A and B are shown apart, each in its own frame.
Chain A
């Protein structure tokens, strides 16, 4: 494969992929998609959130799961970083802690694909002073 150095190369490569594969066009309706939020504050980044986020971006696409991967700030679970919040369509968000690549794979296979809960969930059924007001 030739090297990609310029925007023209990038466009050419993209067109090659488009003709070779059926590139899914994702609508921007987040309600019908899996939403993955990776906590990307200092605590998260220092604990390895970057490779986790790269993993979700790559693997959701590769495993044909319509999803949107974004980042959030610190959720207050610094002790359990990297943390990932997953929201399946029509369900409440679930936060997983201590996520490494192995666990990220398990989250995709068990929770995202089959809705099966796995170890390492951080309970989010609390109310903060702010949310009470």
Chain B
């Protein structure tokens, strides 16, 4: 996986499988502090403690929950390469939160990539889930909610390619405004 956006798309699949109804993606980046962090949190079913302790081991798998595999170890590896780390908090019945940090200017930090494309794919494939996306930089903050769009436009799903293209443009324009610089098409 070449970009952080694709890693996020992968990590969010865990939340979808955990039957979450709200999934929040928080990204923070600060050039001043040379720091970047990503948090993916959900209100899904969570996981037991013994699984949580082994979850970044790629060779541990549970057939019944299918909560783990290569996704988390790969992201942890990416974080470690770029001077950061990955941690997971989970409470059964309450949800799971995955937190990753990076040194923003580290030569091995992956670029953010097409985060707007990832958001629109997630929304169109899972219209019943509310996706929240917050992006904070030194100069500003952008907040996005898929539920807000549905309510504002009075629609039930996002099965319309024109609308998805427009939403993607809207996210990208707002990210540009707050100085997010490494959005690339992946």
Contacts and interface: CB of A to CB of B under 8 A. Distances in A.
Interface of A: 3-7, 9-11, 13-14, 17, 23, 26, 28, 40-43, 45-46, 50-51, 53-54, 57-58, 60-62, 68-71, 73-74
Contact of B162 (A17, A60, A69, A74): A17
Given A45-B1, A58-B161, A70 B170 contact: no
B9 A3 contact: no
27 contacts: A3-B169, A4-B166, A5-B174, A5-B177, A7-B148, A9-B170, A10-B149, A10-B153, A10-B163, A10-B170, A13-B166, A28-B157, A40-B13, A41-B10, A41-B13, A45-B6, A50-B118, A50-B121, A53-B121, A57-B121, A57-B164, A61-B161, A61-B162, A69-B125, A70-B125, A71-B121, A73-B66
Q: Is the interface of B mostly helix, strand, loop or mixed?
A: helix
Given A42-B71, A50-B6, A4 B153 contact: no
Q: Which 8 A-B pairs have the closest CB atoms?
A: A61-B161, A71-B125, A42-B70, A4-B170, A58-B161, A42-B71, A7-B152, A4-B169
B159 A68 contact: yes
Contact of B173 (A4, A7, A45): A4
B124 A45 contact: no
Contact of B9 (A10, A40, A60): A40
B124 A57 contact: yes
A116 to B, nearest CB: 25
Contact of B69 (A9, A42, A58, A60): A42
A6 B117 CA distance: 17
A7 B149 contact: yes
Given A53-B125, A71-B125, A46 B6 contact: yes
A3 B166 contact: no
Q: Is the interface of A mostly helix, strand, loop or mixed?
A: helix
A72 to B, nearest CB: 9
Nearest to B73: A42
Contacts of B114: 50
Contact of A50 (B9, B148, B156, B165): B9
B173 A5 contact: yes
A62 B1 CA distance: 29
Given A14-B166, A41-B69, A3 B173 contact: yes
A61 B74 CA distance: 34
A106 to B, nearest CB: 20
A43 B74 CA distance: 11
Interface string B1-41: 10000100110010001000000000000000000000000
